[in-house]
Amino acid sequence: MNLPNPIKKQGIKRLTAERDAFDFSRLREQGVAQLQELAGDIWTDYNLHDPGITILEQLCFGLTELSYQSKKPVADYLANERGHIEYHQYALYKPQDIFPTRPVTIEDYCKRILDEVPEIDAVHIATVDEPGRFGACLYDISLTLLQPLTGPEYSDDYKHQVKQKVARVYAANRNLGEDIYRIHIENSRPCFLKGVIETNGARNTADIYADVFFLVARKISSDIRIERYETLAQQQDLETIFNGPLTRHGYIDSEGLNNPNPGKALDELNALVAAVEGVNKVYHLELVDATGASLDGDALTEDSYFLKFPQNLAQQAWIKIDFNPGKTTNSQGVMKGGSNLQEKLMAEAQRALQKLEFEYRAFRNNKTDTSQFVVLPQGRQRHSMAYYSVQHHFPNVYGINAAGVPHYETAERKMQAQQLKAYLYPFEQLMANMQAHLHSLQALFSLRETPNQSYFSQFLDNHHIPNLVALYKDPATQLDNIQAIQADYDPAFDRKSRALDTLLALYGETFSQEALLHFNYYHQEQPDYWAIDNKIRFLLHLVEISQHRQGAVNTSQPQWQTSNLSSLHKRINILLGIQQLDNLVPLSHCFTLNNIQLVPDDVLCKKSAFPAGDATEAVPYLNEQQQQRIQGWTYTPNKQLTLCPTMIREGTNIDTYCLRGKDDAVTVYFYSRPKNIWTALKQFPEKSQAVAYVHKFKKIITDLNSNAEGFYLLEHILLRPRKRASAEKVEDFTQPSDEFFHGRISFVFPNWTARFANPAFRQFAEKTIANQLPAHMFPQIYWLDQTQMLQMDKMYRPWLSALEQYESARCSETPPDDTQLDNLATEVDTLGLKLRDWLEQHPASMDYWV
């Protein structure tokens, strides 16, 4: 009879801690096991008295010590000699710099405006849905001022300054495809507090009155909670504090933001007042207008009100606060005494209220040092890590420690000790190199260090290993020999690249350059350096291009030939390897600035078989020293240089040049194999002069291409009409539909450079833009020739200047003249219509999108 197999219990094996791979006992076990496998029956035993076991144990001890040194805190490795860490050098950004983001949502915008403009108490932002106003691209911003509780109301000039300040804050934080439609201040009306409040007699009545009035005033005007970071840091984690935009004047809770009707329900006010220290009971509480008429919930919702301190005896009598230990049903209050007592109470309460208001306004204006939330780690002071040989721990009988071999021993015995020392040297040099690598590990991650090596070594002399130098054939060249051997096995660029990838991964970023390196036209001699430099540029600008990824330009500031670029613009520049990173320059003027005359190919080149005669010779490559020398050379355009488009596109490749002739007359030729066109550039009496000329000529072409690369990023929403009345009078230009403005961005590239003329690179660039652009934005990409780019520049630059003047006037602290502002709007609309019409007449690239 066959019995069924018992059911095995299913489960997850318990995780057990693995032994340290560099633990002394484990190293010894592995060493002995390998010795047994290799030696077989040659050795009779493996006891402690065996010399081989002694050597094994000493080497295991050295490896264990290195293992202990490698387990030091990371801060110790990155610290300098004084124990300080240069965080920027390793792209290690502070939490308050890297975690917060630019305002993205409407609530984020509310936080930023409330934080930067302490004169307002609440802000409501809504998207414009009026027909013809481009949908959700424009914001209508409504402000509620922080009204004075005891002083006079604000003047019109003050209100205008607040609106202009909000406009400047928004302009500095604007995102792509968005703009302001209108900023206005709500016309709030004063209201007063009426009711009966019983106290417990534990506090001064005037202080209670001030607290009640202040809390009710804040609740009516705004339902937003702004807390001190000092208090919040004890209750919330850093993820909560640094979520969204970082507010410098206090933490703003998301609850209640962008609420057009802050909490004004009477039951909320009753609960708020009942929680005030010293209040025993609230019998009756309501809000009334200046005549004493009650304001119901509908009135409070429809209109904007702010609480006003009572100005006369009648208004002062509306609120009664007194101590009454027993219950009362007197709806008229429990205050006893004459008018003098009431006036005295109001005077004391007003002084206490002014103190509370002053403290609150000071809190809204004072910036908080957010660095106090995170204590940055610091390393210990670094000391020189001289290698200490394991030979010091060998017994004296071996004769290799500091005591050495006694002088009375035979020459054979001394020679045996030297042989053992030489036998141990490779192991010790490896361990010494490991120690040097730990000591120099910061160079591998540093953004300043060039990746000439990633493995490090140190020279061992008699101070490290007793009586070692006598074994060297040439001590002066020993370190160079070691470094030369290491260089053969040191993938320095690959290891440096992976170290930078580790730093990028800390922030959830990647920068694979496999596709970009296929279009390496300008750094052919040193492609690895170019790849490393691209990643370093990415890390150096990481805070801006990551935290402000959707950020747009500040339209109220100059843009032409300034660093006022959108973060997306800079990010794409880095990802495409464009040299012009943070400066907007005229793309059509690259030839004029370099005094270059561009002529057609058939004018400068001949299209036929290459001339017969002496065989041509390829131009030799430069060594590393010569490359550095040519990189430092700069072309000075003293006289005009004539080039053709084919030279511009293919002249960055050294293989397009060749030499022909003998030593007494060497001619440099440019030869385009794809087009089969050629031209003689210059003749030299010596070959070395011809070679130097070719590399300088190639550098001129390379620099011209590199400096001509870039693009214009044009948000369609900024081309909308500012003044429709004037826009309708402009003739001869088509009026585009609202679809043109909504969520669209134009990217304008030149098409004449070596890389930009390549269709494969264009597709790569368009794909990069699509991957980096916010999901709600649609790009239109143009590739223009020099004539088209010149037309574009003639329209684009004046429009940018007019837009900057108009937006600057709108954000000015002094009220702009209406006529002047209308004239500026008319100019922006006129230039904008020309630019829009030109874009619509030129089809955008559809290679990638189809």
Please state the domain extents for the chain: 17-71, 104-185, 189-223+259-370, 384-540, 544-552+711-841, 591-708
Convert 474-487 to b/e letters by CB count within 10 Å (16 or more is b).
eeeebeeebbeebe
Positive or negative torsion for Cα 497, 499, 503, 506: positive
Largest CA distance in the chain: 123
Convert 178-216 to b/e letters by CB count within 10 Å (16 or more is b).
bbbbebebbebeebbbbbbbbbeeeeebbbbbbbbbbbb
**294: which residues sit within 8 A by CB, 6+ positions away?**
194, 286, 287, 288
Q: In what order do the strands lie in the sheet with 712-715?
A: 712-715, 744-750, 778-784
Count of other CB atoms within 10 angstroms of residue 783? 22
φ, ψ for residue 193, nearest 5 deg: -100, 135
Q: In whole angstroms, what is the distance from residue 244 CA to residue 655 CA?
A: 53
Q: In whole angstroms, what is the distance from residue 506 CA to residue 285 CA?
A: 56
**Which CATH number does the domain 104-185 belong to among 3.40.50.10470, 3.30.70.1350, 3.40.50.800, 2.60.120.260?**
3.30.70.1350
Long-range contact list for 530-535, CB < 8 A, 24+ apart? 530/577, 531/493, 531/497, 532/451, 532/493, 532/496, 532/497, 532/500, 534/574, 534/577, 535/497, 535/500, 535/501, 535/504, 535/511
Which segment of 254-263, 553-562, 767-776, 788-797 scores lowest on mean pLDDT?
A: 254-263
In this predicted structure, what is the pLDDT of residue 754?
92
State which of 45-49, 126-130, 724-728 shows the largest mean pLDDT: 126-130
Which segment of 287-301, 398-412, 655-669 scores lowest on mean pLDDT?
A: 287-301
pLDDT single digits (tens) 413-422:
999 999 999 9
> What tokens were used for 458?
């140190």
Identity of residue 516: L
In the chain, DSSP finds a helix count (H) and a strand count (E) of 29, 19
pLDDT single digits (tens) 517-551:
999 999 888 888 889 999 999 999 999 998 888 89
> What tokens were used for 180?
């302001």
H or E element that contains 508: none
Burial level of 119, CB count in 10 A (0-12/13-18/19+)? middle
**375: which residues sit within 8 A by CB, 6+ positions away?**
none
Going by pLDDT thresholds of 50, 70 and 90, the confidence category of residue 19 is: low
Contact present, 457 and 432 (Cβ < 8 Å): yes
**Residue the block writes with tokens 């949502």:** 105
Q: In whole angstroms, what is the distance from residue 281 CA to residue 287 CA?
A: 18
In this predicted structure, what is the pLDDT of residue 34?
87
**Residue the block writes with tokens 């949908």:** 135
> What tokens were used for 719?
């081309």
Q: In whole angstroms, what is the distance from residue 305 CA to residue 290 CA?
A: 11
Q: Is 577 left (phi over 0), alpha (psi -120 to 50) or beta?
A: left
To the nearest 10 degrees (0 to 180), the angle between helices 156-173 and 106-116 is: 130
Going by pLDDT thresholds of 50, 70 and 90, the confidence category of residue 329 is: very low
Q: In whole angstroms, what is the distance from residue 146 CA to residue 132 CA?
A: 34
Higher pLDDT, 337 or 153: 153
Q: Which of 106, 369, 370, 102 is nearest to 244 (CA)?
A: 102
> What tokens were used for 200?
């417990």
Average pLDDT over every residue of 785-809 = 91
φ, ψ for residue 782, nearest 5 deg: -120, 140
pLDDT single digits (tens) 390-447:
999 998 989 999 888 898 889 999 999 999 999 999 999 999 999 998 888 888 999 9
> What tokens were used for 820?
């002047």
**Residue the block writes with tokens 């390998």:** 34
Q: In whole angstroms, what is the distance from residue 17 CA to residue 573 CA?
A: 47
Q: How far is CA 480 from CA 167, 335, 484, 496, in A?
A: 64, 96, 6, 22
Q: How far is CA 572 from CA 155, 576, 774, in A?
A: 47, 6, 13
Q: In whole angstroms, what is the distance from residue 60 CA to residue 30 CA?
A: 10
Average pLDDT over every residue of 346-355 = 88
In this predicted structure, what is the pLDDT of residue 748?
95
Average pLDDT over every residue of 683-697 = 90
**592: which residues sit within 8 A by CB, 6+ positions away?**
none
**836: which residues sit within 8 A by CB, 6+ positions away?**
716, 719, 733, 736, 740
- Percent of the chain having pLDDT more than 90? 30
Count of other CB atoms within 10 angstroms of residue 725? 11
Angle at 239 between CA 772 and CA 363, to 5 degrees: 110
> Which 3 state secondary structure label does DSSP give 744?
strand
> What tokens were used for 228?
């001190």
Output the pTM of the full model: 0.84
Q: How far is CA 487 from CA 425, 454, 531, in A?
A: 19, 9, 20
What is the Rg, in whole angstroms, of the alpha carbon atoms belonging to the chain?
39
In this predicted structure, what is the pLDDT of residue 434?
92
Q: How far is CA 443 from CA 4, 80, 450, 456, 496, in A?
A: 65, 11, 9, 10, 9
Burial level of 802, CB count in 10 A (0-12/13-18/19+)? buried
Q: In whole angstroms, what is the distance from residue 762 CA to residue 765 CA?
A: 5
pLDDT single digits (tens) 50-73:
788 889 999 999 999 998 888 888
In this predicted structure, what is the pLDDT of residue 769?
93
Average pLDDT over every residue of 38-45 = 69
pLDDT single digits (tens) 240-249:
788 889 888 8
Q: What is the DSSP string of 681-736?
A: EEEESSHHHHHHHHHHHHHHHHHHHHHH---EEEEGGGGS-S-HHHHTT--SS---
Q: In whole angstroms, what is the distance from residue 618 CA to residue 614 CA?
A: 13
Q: In whole angstroms, what is the distance from residue 205 CA to residue 659 CA?
A: 101
In this predicted structure, what is the pLDDT of residue 726?
37
> Which 3 state secondary structure label does DSSP give 631?
helix
Q: In whole angstroms, what is the distance from residue 796 CA to residue 803 CA?
A: 10
> Which 3 state secondary structure label does DSSP give 240?
helix
Higher pLDDT, 817 or 795: 795
Provide the strand spans (E) within 419-505: none
Q: What is the DSSP string of 127-184?
A: E--STTS-GGGEEEEEEEE---SSSPPPPHHHHHHHHHHHHHHHHHHPBTT-EEEEEE
Torsion from C-alpha of 354, 360, 363, 364, nearest 10 degrees: -120
Residue 732, pLDDT > 60, answer no
Which segment of 201-205, 321-325, 647-651, 818-822 scores lowest on mean pLDDT?
A: 321-325
In this predicted structure, what is the pLDDT of residue 325?
43
> What tokens were used for 695?
């590399």
Question: Is beta strand 138-145 parallel, antiparallel or unpaired with respect to 179-185?
Answer: parallel
Residue 166, pLDDT > 90, answer yes
> What tokens were used for 414?
């001394």
Alpha carbon 65 to its chain centroid, in Å, reads 40
Q: In whole angstroms, what is the distance from residue 672 CA to residue 60 CA?
A: 63
In this predicted structure, what is the pLDDT of residue 760?
93
In this predicted structure, what is the pLDDT of residue 829?
92
On average, the pLDDT of the chain sits at 84
